Amino acid sequence: MDFRVPHFVLHDFSDGEESKVIRMILTYARVPYECKDVDRDNYILEDYPFYTLPMLEVNERKLGNVPSICRQLGWRYELSGQTVGDDSEVDMIAEKTFQTRMHIKNWLDHLDHREDHDCDVRVLIKLKKLWWFFWNYSAILLFH
């Protein structure tokens, strides 16, 4: 059994999109953590679980997959539900919110390259507004 105070190191790309919810949980629980920015052009996939980021190191143990990391932090800091049903609802909301944010982010990334494609700019502007909503209110959905 390990009685050390946990040391957290969060690895992600500098934009931090995928790790935003992890950072919100750590901040909400008032847990100190270290951020390590990973260079998109110069990193070794094999260093990360399932070859993906973000990754959270807990006392040098590597954890991957955003929902799994969030679930582990929820249990560790008593932020999860009182019942299995509560936890399932939180998981559903968190996963859907994360997926939606990533879909909208992909559409916004498309905005940067719209000159190369035929697309309806009005739809993209609406998606940008929707992205702003999820960016600002995802914490409310997860912690309420």
Segment 11-21 mean pLDDT: 88
- Establish if 1 belongs to a structural domain: no
H/E stretch holding 141 reads helix 121-143
Q: Which residue(s) pair with 34 in the sheet?
A: 9
Same structural domain, 22 and 64: yes
CA angle 106/110/114 to nearest 5° reads 170
pLDDT cut 90: percent of the chain above it: 27
Which residue is listed with tokens 């700019």? Answer: 121
pLDDT at position 1 over 60: no
Residues 72 and 56 occupy one common structural domain: yes
Q: Which of 76, 92, 115 is the last residue of a domain?
A: 76
12 and 53 part of one domain: yes
Which of 99, 76, 89 shows the shortest CA–CA distance to 143? 89
Of 45, 76, 107, the position where a domain reaches its end is 76
Residue numbers of the domain that contains 67 = 8-76
Give yes or no for a cis peptide into 49 (omega within 30° of 0).
no
Sign (positive or negative) of CA dihedral 19, 135, 142, 97: negative
pLDDT band for 82, please (50, 70, 90 cuts).
confident
CATH of the domain at 68: 3.40.30.10
Give the tens place of pLDDT for each residue, 91-137.
887 778 777 877 777 777 777 766 666 666 666 667 667 766 666 66
Same domain, 34 and 71: yes
Look at the chain and report how many structural domains it folds into: 2
Angle between helices 84-111 and 20-28 (to 10 degrees): 130
34: Cβ contacts below 8 Å, ≥ 6 apart: 7, 8, 9, 10
